[in-house]
């Protein structure tokens, strides 16, 4: 009865943000009922506590009448971060940490301390989708300031009121935090979430060999997109090595996807690494990433191919004739009618994945992609879209390629690894 009443309470809320607040209050007042409700109604409620509603919740986080569930680490905590982690954990041994510094929250940019909402939302997936005890799951925000002037000028903002920490001071803080995580226990999974491009790649490269960790935006998004592509090929009937993939957006998510796809191509064919990378093309804010450009960041260089420069997406689609179009740009409407029609002209079944989150940042909707390709599209999006009824009376359901599903796989693997290590403790020494 309590669960039914709680679910009815959610449904009576007049907006998605009101539902979010309602569930946050339930989490605080009755944790057992909260998790039971989420687990038994995941399809309905995950879009409320996670994507897409969590985006709006992060934007308004400091204003919301909710109690923070996670742990905040600030520069003033340097020297006693381990003590803060232990105080938060209490007698429980932390098994999973989701950490963000709030610099690149979804497609919304630098939200500073308000990024705590994404850490709190993402950590729920480990419980809801893989049954990990919430008592051993820790959301963390490294509040190192923000370059978002609107937040700094907002009197309700609860974060550190200074420009974002950079350089050695930032690195020292992160290093102490990572060392403290290792000292918490003999095995803790750490998920980097929504760090900016300037830090995401280098932190992953530095700490992955030292700590059981992964970057959700680089690796998680890549995994789920590759899985989506492999599923799409069952429809198109064409092999992976014959694909030509064009990405709108060349940040950490986009290039991470390309790197993993190229590895998958090499594993399934006789192609070299260079040949596999040439199956992936990128369009950034300045145009097509190509060899003639001299302004490319290091993570774009492997994808700078010897092709004519194109200044816009439509021209790039017409020139390259890709089999798959992936949106990781946070540019709503970028996959226009003309772009989708051009994809349809060169492909019997065009693969179109507008992956940007939240829903307001998606490059196109399912209804648009379906209509503009005359129903031929093979579609998956980062945020959920409603089903649609086609003129022939059939109901079509859009797939979702969100790295939430990777949290499920990762946490299951983590549980198995934890059990293995504790039955072979000599490996920990």
Q: Catalytic residues, which ones?
A: 50, 122
Cα distances from 82 to residues 85, 204, 227, 360, in angstroms, run: 5, 21, 38, 39
The token duo for 411 is: 């946490």
Which stretches does DSSP call E strand in 287-407? 287-288, 324-327, 351-354, 378-381, 388-389, 395-396, 399-400
Write phi, then psi, for 294 (nearest 5 degrees). -115, 10
Contact 158, 115 (CB under 8 A): no
- Which residues contact residue 32 at a Cβ distance below 8 angstroms, ignoring those fewer than 6 apart? none
18 belongs to an annotated ligand binding site: no
Quote the crossing angle between the two packed helices 252-268 and 197-207, to the nearest 10°.
50
Number of neighbouring beta carbons within 10 Å of residue 311: 11
CA atoms within 13 A on the CB side of 338: 8
194 belongs to an annotated ligand binding site: yes
User: What does the DSSP 8-state code read for residue 381?
Assistant: E
Query: How far is it, in rounded angstroms, from Cα 424 to Cα 364?
Result: 50
Element of type H or E holding 282: strand 280-284
Contact 354, 399 (CB under 8 A): no
Query: How far is it, in rounded angstroms, from Cα 129 to Cα 50?
Result: 12
193 belongs to an annotated ligand binding site: yes
Query: How far is it, in rounded angstroms, from Cα 5 to Cα 31?
Result: 15
Query: How far is it, in rounded angstroms, from Cα 169 to Cα 257?
Result: 31
Q: Which residues are annotated as a binding site for a divalent metal cation?
A: 193-194, 217
Q: Which residues are annotated as a binding site?
A: 104, 193-194, 217, 357, 402
């Amino acid at each position: 009865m309590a669960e039914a009443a709680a679910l009815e309470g959610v449904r009576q809320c007049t907006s998605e943000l009101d539902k979010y607040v309602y569930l946050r209050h339930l989490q605080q007042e009755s944790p057992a009922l909260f998790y039971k409700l989420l687990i038994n109604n995941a399809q309905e409620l995950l879009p409320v506590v996670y994507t897409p509603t969590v985006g709006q919740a992060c934007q308004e986080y400091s204003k919301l009448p909710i109690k923070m569930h996670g742990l905040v680490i600030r520069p003033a905590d340097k020297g006693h971060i381990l003590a803060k982690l232990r105080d938060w954990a209490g007698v429980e041994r932390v098994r999973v940490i989701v950490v963000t510094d709030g610099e690149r929250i979804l497609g919304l940019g630098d939200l500073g301390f308000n990024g705590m909402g994404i850490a709190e939302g993402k950590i729920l997936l480990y419980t809801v989708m893989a049954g990990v005890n919430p008592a051993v799951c820790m959301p963390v925000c490294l509040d190192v300031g923000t370059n978002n002037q609107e937040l700094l000028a907002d009197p309700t903002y609860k974060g550190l009121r200074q420009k974002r920490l950079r350089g050695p001071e930032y690195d020292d803080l992160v290093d102490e935090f990572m060392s403290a995580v290792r000292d918490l226990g003999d095995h803790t999974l750490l998920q980097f979430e929504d760090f900016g491009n300037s830090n995401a790649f280098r932190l992953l490269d530095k700490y992955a060999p030292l700590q059981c960790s992964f970057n959700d935006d680089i690796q998680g998004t890549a995994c789920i997109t590759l899985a989506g592509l492999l599923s799409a090929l069952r429809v198109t009937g064409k092999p992976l090595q014959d694909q030509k993939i064009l990405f709108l957006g060349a940040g950490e998510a986009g290039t991470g996807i390309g790197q993993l796809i190229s590895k998958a191509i090499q594993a399934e064919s006789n192609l070299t690494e260079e040949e596999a990378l040439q199956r992936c093309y990128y369009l950034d804010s300045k145009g097509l990433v190509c060899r003639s450009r001299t302004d490319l960041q290091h993570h774009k260089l492997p994808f700078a191919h010897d092709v004519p420069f194109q200044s816009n997406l439509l021209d790039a689609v017409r020139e390259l004739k890709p089999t798959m179009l992936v949106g990781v740009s946070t540019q709503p409407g970028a996959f226009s009618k003309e772009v989708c029609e051009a994809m349809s002209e060169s492909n019997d079944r065009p693969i179109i994945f507008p992956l940007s989150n939240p829903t307001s940042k998606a490059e196109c909707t399912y209804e648009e992609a379906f209509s503009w390709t005359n129903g031929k599209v093979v579609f998956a999006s980062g945020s959920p879209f409603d089903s649609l009824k086609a003129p022939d009376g059939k109901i079509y359901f859009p797939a979702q390629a969100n790295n939430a599903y990777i949290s499920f796989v990762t946490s299951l693997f983590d549980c198995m690894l934890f059990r293995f290590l504790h039955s072979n403790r000599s490996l920990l020494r």
